[in-house]
Structure 1
Amino acid sequence: MMNWKHTFAIIWSGQLFSTLSSSVVGYAVIFWLSIKTGSAEILALSTIATLLPQLVLGLFTGVYVDRWDRRKTMIYADLFVALNSGILALLFYTTNGELDIIYIYLLLALRSVGSAFHIPAMQASTPLLAPESQLMRIAGINQVIFSLSTIAGPAIAAVFVASMNMTSVLLADVGGAVIAVVSLLLVKIPNPVKDKEAIPHLKREIKEGFHALASNQTIKWLFLYIV
């Protein structure tokens, strides 16, 4: 049986590639749009498309992920993000970068939807794998991975945009997702114990999510801006 430390090392290796490549691509598309159009409005809308779905869905996805197979959720989320990056890469290739911006917004938003399921699934896997005494340490390492991706992503994206075409940049995200999926296929993550009271709890937690959404001023302003 695989040691829990070995399991986490495999998962972390794959997820580092996945989160970093996803961050790089998200910023690369935003940088490319900024250079291509020089429009502050387009830059703002692309940023919203990248962040808003994950921000909004993140209030609710954790409720479902807590009751789903964590490993399958992460695999499907990685593949979904890779699929949309692959489609966007194909559009850049076939149009030589002259594609309609609305397709970029749409695919950025869909990638964000995948991330909204991936991140809570990763976080929810920790208590199922590690001893309770190690949970704080594991949570800290998870945060380091996400922080590293957030910090390094823009810098790497800037280098890629300056030295590569967007098709190649987007395919890097597909490669990162493949590495992440392979790492997940090599490990086993226990399924959560089914709770007979899950449905009542689910409804209550969804209501709490809507309440959090309604009381979040940042999200309100984002919606108002889009309208």
Structure 2
Amino acid sequence: MKLSSIHTFYLILITQTFSLIGSQMTGYGIALYLFIETGDVTPLAGVTFFGQLANIIITGFAGVWADRYDRRLIMSLSDMGQAVCTALLLGAFWLDALTLGIIFGIAFVQRLFGALQTPAFMASVTLMVPDEKRDMANGLMQLSGAVSQVFALILAGVLYSIVDLGGLIIIDLLTFLMAMGVILASHIPTPPRITTPEKESMLSELSFGLRWMWRHQPIFQLALAAMFANFFLMMALILLTPYLLVLSDNNTATTGFVQGIGTMGGLIGALSIGFWQKIRPRMRVVVFSISFEGILLAIAGLVDTLPLFGLILFAIFVQFPVLNSLIMSIMQQKVPADIQGRVLATLMQMAMLIQPIGALLAGPLADNVFEPAVGTAQWDAVAWLVGNDTGAGMRLIMILNGLLMTLFVGGISIRPIVRNLESNLPDPPAMITPDAAVIT
């Protein structure tokens, strides 16, 4: 039967949401497994580091391939590769061979496949969804991420004690297979090449997005702001699970519930974008939200009770879908459709460039510097602010990262060249959106 392109978008988004729930349940289950087994933050940070490293390595290639090849095949290959990695993880768990090396290796390879999908799907939205519904579509994509986080955290926290890590991995594998089947049965439009019709070398195409963004400085500096924001957020949020386990005396259900309350903010933020379909100028909201996030992060470091911490998390996560959907709408409006794969991939690479460093630093700093310093003579200088109990070191890390984020990221965002991006940067010529997509 034939579905309109936007209905195909909805169908793919729904099945990918279920797949995200499965993947995040597995990720959260691994975080619980590692922290309960080792009592350290560093292994959790290692998983995040290798996943982010894979993102950085492959995203540039993924952007080139999204502009060069069939986007449907790229997306289905992504799901297939992730499903194989999930099956290998399940096998290692059943064989009692789930070592840190295997977990790190599978996390790395799985993210290689996962990162293939994002530029292809994001670039396809421009042709699948009419311009007047694009803010809503981007809001729904953020809603997908928020819904998956909420349900994954709550379900994983409860199911972990019932079905163990193996059960979570099986659920993840089934959702991958479902999502892959829908993508294989769908038609995803590929735009005609009107901007760079000549055949370029892979090296030239890998650098194309950066060269284009450098020639369009407002976009480039917006990417810089996103890069620093991700670094400071990663350093703080990598501590989220261990910090909540400390506050809850290693109660996994309570930890998942509090994180679920926090990520409900992402759900509300995504819903607000979905219903509030026309925000102009978008950059005004972006500048406010990106600065306010840093302030909220610093406030989170002052909180040592579970209910209040959940409320602060709620307020922080409200900002995520708002920022992401508005920035993506700006990019889809300002970047020609046939080069969006490469340019969006470059934007994502810049946003992720120093994020793994934040993940890699957070664990050792918490385990070897800040937490051991609690209660020492030197700690007296900050004890009045964060206390002398277990977890005080992690609270100080959150405060410092929140303040630095407000200073650096807010400073970049309020510059006129970034703040007035929408009015100063012209739109490219519009491209025709296909009328239908076929589900076979």
> What TM-score do you get using the length of structure 1 for normalisation?
0.84
Answer whether contact 1:26 1:50 (CA < 8 A) is retained: no
Q: Among the aligned pairs, what percent are the same residue?
A: 24
User: 1:38/1:141 Cα in 2 relative to 1: closer, same or farther (>3 Å)?
Assistant: same
Partner residue of 1:76?
77
CA distance in 2, matches of 1:82, 1:167: 14
Secondary structure of the residue that 1:165 maps to in structure 2? helix
Q: Do residues 202 (structure 1) and 201 (structure 2) align?
A: no
Partner residue of 2:123?
124
1:59 Cα deviation (Å)? 5.3
Compare the two structures and name the one with the higher helix fraction: 1
Runs of 4+ in 1 over 6 A off after TM superposition: 223-226
CA deviation vs aligned residue, 1:55-79 (integer Å, no higher than 9, x gap): 5543553243233211111111111
- Greater RCO, CA 8 A, separation 6+: 1
User: 1:34/1:73 Cα in 2 relative to 1: closer, same or farther (>3 Å)?
Assistant: same
Partner residue of 2:34?
33
Partner residue of 1:16?
17
Answer whether contact 1:78 1:181 (CA < 8 A) is retained: yes
CA deviation vs aligned residue, 1:154-209 (integer Å, no higher than 9, x gap): 33222232221222211111111111012113321122324423527614326554
CA distance in 1, matches of 2:208, 2:3: 34
User: 1:91/1:219 Cα in 2 relative to 1: closer, same or farther (>3 Å)?
Assistant: closer
CA distance in 2, matches of 1:6, 1:63: 26
CA deviation vs aligned residue, 1:6-38 (integer Å, no higher than 9, x gap): 312321221111122111111211111111222
CA distance in 2, matches of 1:81, 1:28: 17
Q: Do residues 108 (structure 1) and 107 (structure 2) align?
A: yes
Length, aligned pairs only: 224
1:48 Cα deviation (Å)? 1.9
Answer whether contact 2:86 2:173 (CA < 8 A) is retained: yes
1:82 Cα deviation (Å)? 0.9
Partner residue of 1:93?
94
Partner residue of 1:153?
152
User: 1:50/1:159 Cα in 2 relative to 1: closer, same or farther (>3 Å)?
Assistant: farther
Residue range with higher mean Cα deviation, 177-186 or 42-51: 42-51
Secondary structure of the residue that 1:2 maps to in structure 2? strand
Answer whether contact 2:93 2:166 (CA < 8 A) is retained: yes
CA distance in 1, matches of 2:119, 2:151: 21
CA distance in 2, matches of 1:171, 1:61: 28
Task: Look up the equivalent residue of 1:66 and give its one-letter code.
Answer: D
User: 1:44/1:221 Cα in 2 relative to 1: closer, same or farther (>3 Å)?
Assistant: closer
Residue range with higher mean Cα deviation, 141-150 or 83-92: 141-150
Secondary structure of the residue that 1:169 maps to in structure 2? helix
User: 1:31/1:220 Cα in 2 relative to 1: closer, same or farther (>3 Å)?
Assistant: closer
CA distance in 1, matches of 2:38, 2:154: 21
User: 1:27/1:130 Cα in 2 relative to 1: closer, same or farther (>3 Å)?
Assistant: same
User: 1:158/1:52 Cα in 2 relative to 1: closer, same or farther (>3 Å)?
Assistant: farther
Answer whether contact 1:23 1:153 (CA < 8 A) is retained: yes
